[in-house]
Amino acid sequence: MKALTKQELHNLAMNIVGKKLQEMGYEFVAVNSELKKHPQFVLFKKGEPTIFVIVKATNNLQNPNEYDTIWMETFLAHAKKLNAKVWYAGVGIANAESVDLPMFKDQPYYFAFDNFLKL
């Protein structure tokens, strides 16, 4: 059995976040699922400013919303120039048997994603 790659884990997190955004009534202007290309989602909803959503998969189920603050300051400055808001979606994903085991394709898993950090 082969463990999921970082890109496959990222895609799983993107699917979880994308479903939530659709439930919230957002339209996707752009979607980028390539690792380390930001933002992952550019959102539109009539009457609201553009929203950039950054998605990060992590194996930290307790606190999936931890992020690199120095990098984020740079990104926030970029978004501000474009009059866009930034939402951060940290998604904790772990093997259902043990958080110490890697994730495998078609195997059960837990995920922790409650809401967006609106920065």
pLDDT in tens, 21-44: 999 999 999 999 999 889 999 999
Confidence at residue 106, expressed as pLDDT on a 0 to 100 scale = 87
Confidence at residue 40, expressed as pLDDT on a 0 to 100 scale = 96
Confidence at residue 53, expressed as pLDDT on a 0 to 100 scale = 97
- Closest among 41, 69, 42, 68 to 55, alpha carbons compared: 41
Confidence at residue 25, expressed as pLDDT on a 0 to 100 scale = 93
Q: Write out residues in the chain with pLDDT < 70, as ranges.
A: none
**pTM attached to this predicted model:** 0.92
- Closest among 59, 41, 58 to 50, alpha carbons compared: 41
Domains within the chain, CATH numbers bracketed: 6-118 (3.40.1350.10)
